[in-house]
């Protein structure tokens, strides 16, 4: 993985000292809150419902064991001993004190991390496929490009005051595990007719108040032109994006209003002016970054491990965990181990300091010291030898991260909701907890099969409800929480925005309503047909009838 | 946030809240004129003019002590009427954090 050079280290260390001075001046009354707020937000420090919240960037969701321990240290020393992994592959700490915030940033800087550009109208932390570099179906490691984009966009003066925030996601695999079509810019690596690897550039996707699927601006872009082309996209957005209306300021609105053809023409005009300029990527530059992500030095391992096969036969719990949370690796004899942060009754994405330390130890011993954060709020051990799976299973079971529910109903995405967030209208976490309790029977969850359930506590859609097979959106009606149900959403290559099923249901009714959606699916599905396929085939009617029949 | 009627009478009793600048904690103006993290100790204000005066004083404390003071409608027992304010006053409701 990428390792900071001297310049990176000097930069983040200097930012900590700058912030320490800014915070001290605020505490001393030398600057006002209005003056201080943009400064703290530029360092990821929000003021939320209960306290300050620190959002830490985890570039393209990759971190090493030492960095995970730094996160544990922050949780333990400066927070209430836990953190919340987010849908942007970041982590948030909910109870940070302003007078200790610079010390927390110092812990990050000492581990080559920061909280810069996790807020504000800038290019945010770039996200990528959490199985980058290890997935068998991958064409090329997207983190190379995530890192190039990180270096280009960090503290970029032209793009520090955009009309609105800007999110870029990269996938190097046709399976798209990074939801690239619902980002401001989505990049999908693929081969052209000549077999060369380049990017499909999608623009104007997004969730929130106005969900949109990104439109393809360029079918295939040569690698060397990535930054020049994106500079042209950003410049076009910066020039024409709406600054007069917060709700119309994202690039998706610009693309929607002027149309993709006009957007493409404007971008191409700008691209023609900057193409071949200093931002063109020389092969040597790309190679230097790529070297950081070179395939790990895998010790030769046996792909067939008799003890592993024997335990699968004799222990159904182990067999189920392997079948559900362990996926194939590109290297024979290795596997990708997914750690579920979705136990029954848990808060999706939460981890305690002890859990973070424990998985750091496991990563160090068994995964070449590397971990990933997924946009579905789970963690990944990316380089595990098949012969170590039995040991890993015992260890992550003890940690509480071995619930065999990856990609299943109880692998819920949920935003912090009204329990923590100043923007929320309704709670998310208690709904997720009640759903996992209702569906605590793993046999039942496996019988239902692949299905994504995503919960947002307000229209800003941090919980990605629009692209959930089942989406729940919390709304407020006369001071009472209600939940809108959307069905048929999909974040993948065939991205789709879920459709509203009918009237919102009350908080107490929400879990029953989800259960009735599931009942309708089980009644109508064809053998082997996944939830979204059944919904696409039948439309909302059978689901609507069954959910609302109970209320009639 | 609070609403006051045009006649100067408060629509509901109110408490005055803010965040503590140093640690971000949710605080309430107490009966002795200090700031407490316990809403049960908060001063319940029945008079709109008095509420406005107290809010002005709290705003002056933003230089070194408070962030974002505002008034919250409460019931006769001093509990916030709005769910958001209730959760803000009493903490996260999810069982994990109770």
Between chain A and chain B, the number of residue pairs with CB atoms below 8 A apart is 79
Q: How confident is the model at residue B11 (pLDDT cuts 50, 70, 90)?
A: confident
In a domain, residue A124? The reply is no
Tens of pLDDT, residue by residue over A227-261, are 999 999 999 999 999 999 999 999 999 999 999 99
A146-203 residue pLDDT tens? 999 999 999 999 999 999 999 999 999 999 999 999 999 999 999 999 999 999 999 9
Question: Distance from first CA to last CA of chain B, Å, rounded?
Answer: 25
Band (pLDDT 50/70/90 cuts) for residue B98 is very low
Q: Is the dihedral of CA A158, A163, A165, A171 positive or negative?
A: negative
Q: What is the CATH number of the domain that holds A362?
A: 3.90.480.20
pLDDT at B3 over 70: no
How many residues in chain B?
A: 98
Looking at beta carbons, which residues of chain A come within 8 Å of B21?
26-27, 98
The answer to whether residue A33 neighbours chain B at the CB level (below 8 Å) is yes
pLDDT recorded at residue B1: 44
Residue A126 Ramachandran class (φ > 0 left, ψ -120 to 50 alpha, else beta) = beta
Angle at B62 between CA B57 and CA B63, to 5 degrees: 115
Q: How many helices (H) and strands (E) does chain A have?
A: 18, 21
DSSP A123: B
Q: Determine, yes or no, domain membership for A125.
A: no
Does residue A520 sit in the same domain as residue A447? Answer: yes
* pLDDT(B10) > 90: no
Asked if the Cβ–Cβ distance from B21 to A95 is below 8 Å, we say: no
The answer to whether residue B97 neighbours chain A at the CB level (below 8 Å) is: yes
B92, B93, B95, best to mutate vs chain A, most A CBs in 10 Å: B92
**Residue A66, pLDDT above cutoff 70:** yes
Question: What is the token pair recorded at A18?
Answer: 């700058």
**Burial readout A319-344 (b: 16 or more C-beta within 10 A, e: otherwise):** ebbbebbbbebebebbbbbbbbbbbb
Q: What is the pLDDT of residue A296?
A: 82
Given a cut of 80, whether residue B6 has pLDDT beyond it is no
User: What does the domain layout of chain B look like in residue ranges?
Assistant: 9-97
Q: Are A468 and A452 in contact (CB under 8 A)?
A: yes
CA angle A500, A503, A506 (to 5 degrees): 115
Q: Are A187 and A216 in contact (CB under 8 A)?
A: no
Q: What is the mean pLDDT of residues A374-384?
A: 98
The pLDDT of residue A479: 87
One domain, residues A286 and A139: yes
Q: Could you tell me if A104 and A169 lie in one domain?
A: no
Report the mean per-residue pLDDT for chain A.
97
Q: Is residue A474 located within the same domain as residue A446?
A: yes
Any idea what the CATH number is for the domain that residue A268 is in? 3.30.413.10
Is the pLDDT score of A328 beyond 60? yes
B2: pLDDT strictly greater than 50: no
The answer as to whether A170 is a domain residue is: yes
Instruction: Return the exposure string of A170-191: e unless at least 16 CB atoms fall within 10 Å of the residue's CB, then b.
Output: bbbbeebbbbbbbbbbbbbbbe
Q: Give me the torsion for CA of B71, B73, B78, B79, rounded to 10°.
A: -110
**Distance, CA of A152 to CA of A159 (rounded, Å):** 10
Q: Which of A95, A345, A481 is facing B83, going by the closest CB pair? A: A481
| pLDDT score of A514 | 98
Residues of chain B contacting A427 with CB distance shorter than 8 Å: 87, 93-94
What is the rounded distance in angstroms from the CA atom of residue A425 to the CA atom of residue A419?
A: 10
Is A287 found in the same domain as A166?
yes
Question: Residue A499: beta bridge partners?
Answer: A487
CA-CA distance, A437 to A429, in Å (whole number)?
A: 12
B24: Cβ contacts below 8 Å, ≥ 6 apart: A47, A50, A51, A52, A95, A96, A97, A98, B67
N-term to C-term CA, chain A: 57
Does the beta-carbon distance from B64 to A97 stay under 8 Å?
no
Residue A274 is encoded by which pair of tokens?
Answer: 């900057």
Query: Which of B1, B20, B24 has the most A C-beta neighbours within 10 Å, making it the best mutation to test the interface with A?
Result: B24
Please indicate, yes or no, if residue A281 is contained in any of the structural domains. yes
Q: How far apart are CA A375 and CA A353, in angstroms?
A: 20
Closest CA to A413 of A429, A434, A399, A389: A429
Give the residue on B whose Cα is nearest the Cα of A53.
B24
CB atoms under 10 Å from CB of A276, counted, come to 11
Any domain includes A311: yes
Smallest Cβ distance to B22: which of A47, A49, A97? A97
Whether residues B22 and A476 touch (CB distance < 8 A) is answered with no
Helices (H), A28-97: 33-41, 65-78
The total domain count for chain A is 4
Let me know if residue A232 belongs to a domain: yes
Residue in A234, A232, A326 with CA at minimum distance from that of residue A275:
A232
Q: Residue length, chain A?
A: 552
Selected residues 12-51 of chain B with any CB under 8 Å from a CB in chain A:
19, 21-26
* CA–CA distance, A253 with A215 (Å, rounded to integer): 12
Percent of chain A with pLDDT over 70: 99
pLDDT tens track for A349-363: 999 999 999 999 999
Clarify whether residues A451 and A518 are in a common domain: yes
Would you say residue A298 lies in a domain?
no
Least CA distance to A37: which residue of chain B? B67
- pLDDT exceeds 50 at position A15: yes
pLDDT band, residue B21 (cuts 50/70/90): very high
Can you tell me the mean pLDDT for A260-267? 98
Judgement on whether residues A233 and A327 belong to the same structural domain of the protein: no
> Hey, which residues does A187 pair with through a beta bridge?
A170, A201
Range of A187's domain? 135-292
**Distance of alpha carbon A146 from alpha carbon A150, whole angstroms:** 6
Any CB–CB contact under 8 A between A481 and chain B? yes
Q: Do A33 and B67 touch (CB under 8 A)?
A: yes
Nearest to B63 among A29, A345, A433 (CB): A29
What integer is the mean pLDDT of A468-477?
A: 97
Report chain A residues whose CB lies below 8 A from the CB of B39. Answer: none
Question: Average pLDDT in the A212-240 region?
Answer: 98
Tell whether A4 lies on the interface with B, counting CB pairs under 8 A: no
Put simply, the answer to whether B24 touches A47 (Cβ < 8 Å) is yes
pLDDT at position B4, please? Answer: 43
CB atoms inside a 10 Å sphere around CB A293: 21
With respect to residue A448, please indicate whether it lies within any of the assigned structural domains.
yes
* Judgement on whether residues A270 and A140 belong to the same structural domain of the protein: yes
Q: Do residue A420 and residue B21 have CB atoms under 8 angstroms apart?
A: no
């Amino acid at each position: 993985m990428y390792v900071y050079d001297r310049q990176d280290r000097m930069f983040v260390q200097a930012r900590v000292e700058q912030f320490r001075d800014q915070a001290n001046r605020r505490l001393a009354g030398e600057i006002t809150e209005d003056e201080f707020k943009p400064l703290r937000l530029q360092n990821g420090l929000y003021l939320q419902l209960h306290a300050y919240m620190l959002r830490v960037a985890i570039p393209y969701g990759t971190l090493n064991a030492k960095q995970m321990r730094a996160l544990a240290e922050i949780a333990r020393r400066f927070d209430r001993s836990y953190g919340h992994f987010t849908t942007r592959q970041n982590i948030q700490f909910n109870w940070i004190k302003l007078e200790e915030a610079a010390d927390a940033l110092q812990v990050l800087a000492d581990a080559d991390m920061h909280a810069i550009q996790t807020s504000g109208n800038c290019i945010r932390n770039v996200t990528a496929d959490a199985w980058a570099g290890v997935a068998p179906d991958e064409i090329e490691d997207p983190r190379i490009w995530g890192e190039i984009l990180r270096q280009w966009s960090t503290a970029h003066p032209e793009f520090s005051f955009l009309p609105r925030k800007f999110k870029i996601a990269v996938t190097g695999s046709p399976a798209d595990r990074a939801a690239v079509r619902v980002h401001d810019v989505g990049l999908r690596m693929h081969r052209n007719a000549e077999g060369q690897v380049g990017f499909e550039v999608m623009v104007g996707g997004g969730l929130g108040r106005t969900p949109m699927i990104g439109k393809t601006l360029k079918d295939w872009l040569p690698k060397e032109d990535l930054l020049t082309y994106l500079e042209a996209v950003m410049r076009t957005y910066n020039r024409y994006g709406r600054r007069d209306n917060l709700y119309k300021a994202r690039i998706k609105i610009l693309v929607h209003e002027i149309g993709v053809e006009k957007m493409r023409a404007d971008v191409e005009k700008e691209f023609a002016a900057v193409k071949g300029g200093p931002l063109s990527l020389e092969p040597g530059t790309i190679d230097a970054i790529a070297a950081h992500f070179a395939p790990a030095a895998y010790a030769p391992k046996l792909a067939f491990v008799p003890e592993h096969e024997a335990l699968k036969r004799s222990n159904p719990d182990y067999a189920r965990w392997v079948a559900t949370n362990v996926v194939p690796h590109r290297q024979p004899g290795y596997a990708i181990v997914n750690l579920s942060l979705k136990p029954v009754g848990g808060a999706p994405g939460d981890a305690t300091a002890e859990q973070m330390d424990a998985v750091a130890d496991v990563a160090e011993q068994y995964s070449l010291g590397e971990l990933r954060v997924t946009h579905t709020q789970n963690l990944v051990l990316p380089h595990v030898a098949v012969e170590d799976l039995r040991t890993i299973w015992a260890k992550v079971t003890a940690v509480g991260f071995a619930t065999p529910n990856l990609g299943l109903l109880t692998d819920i995405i949920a935003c912090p909701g009204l329990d923590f967030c100043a923007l929320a209208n309704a709670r998310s976490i208690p709904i997720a907890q009640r759903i996992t309790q209702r569906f605590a029977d793993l046999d039942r969850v496996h019988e239902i099969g692949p299905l994504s359930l995503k919960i947002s506590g307000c229209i800003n859609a941090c919980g990605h409800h629009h692209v959930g097979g089942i989406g729940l959106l919390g709304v407020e009606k006369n001071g009472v929480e209600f939940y809108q149900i959307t069905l048929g959403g999909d974040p993948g290559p065939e991205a789709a925005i879920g459709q509203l099923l009918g009237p919102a249901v009350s908080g107490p009714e929400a879990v029953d309503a989800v259960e009735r959606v599931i009942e309708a699916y089980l009644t109508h599905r064809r053998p082997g047909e996944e939830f979204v396929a059944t919904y696409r085939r039948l439309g909302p009617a059978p689901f609507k009838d069954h959910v609302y029949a109970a209320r009639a | 946030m609070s609403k006051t009627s045009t006649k100067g009478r408060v629509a509901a009793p109110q408490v005055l809240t803010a965040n503590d600048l140093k640690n971000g904690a949710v605080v309430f103006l107490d009966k002795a004129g200090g700031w407490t993290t316990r809403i049960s100790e908060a001063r319940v204000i029945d008079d709109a003019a008095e509420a406005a005066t107290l809010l002005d004083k709290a705003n002056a404390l933003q230089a070194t002590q408070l962030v974002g003071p505002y008034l919250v409608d409460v019931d006769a027992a001093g509990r916030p009427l709005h769910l958001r304010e209730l959760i803000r006053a009493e903490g996260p409701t999810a069982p994990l954090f109770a």
